[in-house]
Structure 1
Amino acid sequence: MDRRRPGWRESVGDGALALALLAVGLAGTGPAAADEGGTADGRGYALVVVAALALAVRRRWPFVTLAVAAVATTAYLVLGYPYGPILVSFFVAVYTVATHRTVRPAALASAVALVLLTGHVFVDARSPGLLGLMPAAAWVVVPFAVGTTVRLSREAAARTRAEEARRLADGERLRVAQEVHDVVGHGLAAIHMQAEIALHLLEKRPEQAHAALAAISSTSKEALDELRVTLAVVRRGDGAAERAPAPGLAQVPALRDRLAGTGLPVAVEVDGEPRALPVAVDLAAYRVVQESLTNVLRHAGPATAAVRIRYAPAEVGVEVTDTGRGAPGPARGTAGSGLAGMRERITALGGSFDAGPTAGGGFRVYARLPVEERA
């Protein structure tokens, strides 16, 4: 139900419509009466003016507009004037009620208007009797049906837009949640491992413990910086996302260096010529590498890892293997924040994803992402 007050553009439009129908009524009432062998006098024209000008407030007060138009039109017909342009004003008034109000009150108001309009059939001696009910009823039934259809179509379109907005909002929240999980999960895993090293070496080798604590400080700062960039996506307009671009495969060497401080040796191998990738593809590939290495750090035990990046003309592939325990741990299962989360990222971009234990006892994660070739 449309209960909002019309804006100035709508009010101006209603006023223009009222003036247009007034001009039509004044110009067409005389000829319409002449065609029926009658004449239109001052009373008839006055009723035409009232019915037309009532439409100037049709969206602000639909029921009032319909009441005025119905009374004026009924009086016009009861006084013996033939059908003419005044019925167009009545038609628009019924249509307006059906369009801007719900079915029950609109139907009730239209039914009352119909009773009033058909009253002339019984009081006018020149009326064709009950046969005159059909054309009179059409001036109510047709605009009511059209107006109701328009209103239902608008409501359906509004629901569709609202559902689409909710779907997009939910997708954005899930994407940001995945980004936060990847950033925070990797940072905390690295910090935890470095803290364990620092506690172990604190008394025996304080100088190495100092290096581990320095690595904790550096890792936490980098994780916080990346988290700020991720959350800046939600706060449109602060410019943070533009000042600090999203991470990509070019940051894999820096990721390797950070993990070296946790005791996880990572070898990086690049096949093909590195090139600029679409932001979404670049970020998804980097997150697969980051999450896979985080899983190695958390669950593989003493291990080494290898990252292979393959650039092809129409795709890019990333593979992460390790020499640790091949049996899947909690993060390697199907939870939404583990392998399933990586799979969702890749398949959403039209790629393929595979993960599982290797024959040698380690674990392998592979992702392939299509890249559109530029002309």
Structure 2
Amino acid sequence: MISVQRARDLGRRLSGRRWGRRDGRLAKAGRAVMRPFGLALFQGDADPPPASRRPTFRVPRRLAVLLPSQTFDLVQVAELALSLILFGTTQGMLTEAIAAHTEGYPVPEWIAYLAGLAVALPLVLRDRWPLAAWRVAIVQTPLTIWAAITLDLVDPPYSAQLSVMYLMVLYSVAVRCDKQITLAVWIITVLTVWIADPNSMALVAVMASVVVLFGYNVRTRRAATARLVEEERRTQVAESAQAVLAERARIARELHDVVAHHMSVIAIQAEAVPLKAAGDPAQLEAGLAEIRGLSLAAIAELRQVLGVLRDQDGRTDTAPQPGLDRLDELVVNARAAGLAVVVERDGPLDGLPPAVGLSAYRIVQESLSNAMRHAPGAAVAVSVAWDDGELRLRVANGPGTAPGDAPGAGQGLVGMRERATLLGGTLEAGPLPGGGFDVRATLPIADAMTEEGA
């Protein structure tokens, strides 16, 4: 049996282990509770300013030479103006109070300027560094209240200027910081004001709570919007990638159908011709001619597969393939649909290789179709130039005169890029700064002519 002393020692060890584990959990919980306060006061940082567009205005060039920039953010300009107003009103109010303060310790006038700067500085900082602005405010606010009470300069000790500044800074913190830091900022703010002036704690707590909750709601909505935008972007990327994979799979199937059939027949004929000829030159020549015919047919069908892509509605062209010789038909149809199309030609376009002419025709056709759908009634400029061994296309449309369809998944652009890539060319497409869309393509002609002549 275990002795009484050994039982006591075992009990002490087990109790010590339990208390050690409990102390470790308490220390970990304490660190988790205090961490947001440390981030709020010292180490934390806010999210970067939102990427959403804010209103701006441009200064005339004659005045811009005196300014650092010609374009200014209206929000920042408004904050700077409000900072100057708060500085001026705070300084003026305290200057009058100091002049009327005749009892006790004399107060120098520069205190009024320092207080005005302390009230205005957080507003200057809050757009880019909201936590830094709050730290400045949390340091100077109790000092300002204490000085006002001690020197009996202002009654009540917190002014309207100080309240406006603090509420705006709290709003920025709630919008740009996570909820743990925002909660710590709210607690520190209320406690700081309570220590400096207990009578104003209830009012400050209510006002700070309203502003923080409103800012947190704005942050939540922005985060949800950002997630939706990111999901939409990923969906579009996935759809574009899927369209490319589907197009490659279709081309692979067609290549297999064309090449495998003809190559199999050619291989069989190549083995059978020597046996059938049996030294007869006429039969040997006929067999070789048949192999040559099969080879030419395979090359022709292979070129057709590489040049013909599926239309956007899923149908495959079976009619004779068009070229830039039918560009006027596209223009007439586009004008009939309401587009103001202007065409500029540079260089002869009647001698283009069929593959280049087909791809150029389809690119112009798709660009005009996009303009019809997304910018009805827009002005469209079509430019076609052939020089230096390459064909350059550009289709640029301005903003539409009526609302258009919503942007699609971009499969039409994927198809145009595939057409250009198959010929060894390039295609660039994107929105124009003033509205509208621009498509530029470069298709090499010399390579296509060399391949057709081979």
TM-score with structure 1 setting the length? 0.52
CA apart distance, 1:253? 4.4
Which residue number corresponds to residue 149 of structure 1?
217
Which residue of the other structure, out of 160, 164, 168, is the alignment partner of 1:92? Answer: 168
Which residue number corresponds to residue 301 of structure 2?
219
Note if contact 1:59-1:100 (Cα within 8 Å) is conserved in structure 2.
Answer: no
Per the alignment, do residues 85 and 115 of structure 1 end up closer, same or farther by CA in structure 2, a change over 3 Å counting?
A: same
Amino acid aligned to 1:187: L
- Tell me the C-alpha RMSD between the 2 structures: 4.1
CA apart distance, 1:159? 0.5
Per the alignment, do residues 6 and 176 of structure 1 end up closer, same or farther by CA in structure 2, a change over 3 Å counting?
A: closer
User: What is the alpha-carbon distance in structure 2 between the residues aligned to residue 217 and residue 253 of structure 1?
Assistant: 19
1:271-292 deviations in Å (ceiling 9; x for gaps): xxxxx99xxxxxxxxxxxxxxx
Amino acid aligned to 1:213: S
Report % sequence identity: 16
Which residue number corresponds to residue 129 of structure 2?
61
Which residue number corresponds to residue 172 of structure 1?
240
Note if contact 2:91-2:115 (Cα within 8 Å) is conserved in structure 1.
Answer: no
Q: How does 1:1-375 map to 2 (within 5 A)?
A: 3-4=47-48, 13-14=75-76, 16-24=78-86, 26-27=88-89, 43=111, 46-78=114-146, 79-80=148-149, 81=154, 82=156, 83-122=159-198, 129=199, 132-202=200-270, 203-204=272-273, 205-226=287-308, 251-253=317-319
Secondary structure at 1:60 match in 2 = coil
TM-score with structure 2 setting the length? 0.44
Structure 1 unmatched runs, 5+: 123-128, 231-244, 256-275, 278-347, 349-375
User: What is the alpha-carbon distance in structure 1 between the residues aligned to residue 181 and residue 145 of structure 2?
Assistant: 26
Secondary structure at 2:160 match in 1 = coil
Amino acid aligned to 1:19: A
Amino acid aligned to 1:84: A
CA apart distance, 1:220? 2.6
Which residue number corresponds to residue 54 of structure 2?
none
Amino acid aligned to 1:52: A
CA apart distance, 1:42? 6.2
CA apart distance, 1:247? 10
Amino acid aligned to 1:20: L
Amino acid aligned to 1:3: D
Q: How many residues align?
A: 233
Note if contact 1:5-1:60 (Cα within 8 Å) is conserved in structure 2.
Answer: yes
Per the alignment, do residues 118 and 247 of structure 1 end up closer, same or farther by CA in structure 2, a change over 3 Å counting?
A: closer
User: What is the alpha-carbon distance in structure 1 between the residues aligned to residue 318 and residue 50 of structure 2?
Assistant: 57
Per the alignment, do residues 112 and 86 of structure 1 end up closer, same or farther by CA in structure 2, a change over 3 Å counting?
A: same
CA apart distance, 1:160? 0.4
CA apart distance, 1:26? 3.3
1:160-193 deviations in Å (ceiling 9; x for gaps): 0010111112112222222222222112211111
Per the alignment, do residues 74 and 220 of structure 1 end up closer, same or farther by CA in structure 2, a change over 3 Å counting?
A: same
User: What is the alpha-carbon distance in structure 2 between the residues aligned to residue 193 and residue 60 of structure 1?
Assistant: 67
Amino acid aligned to 2:82: A
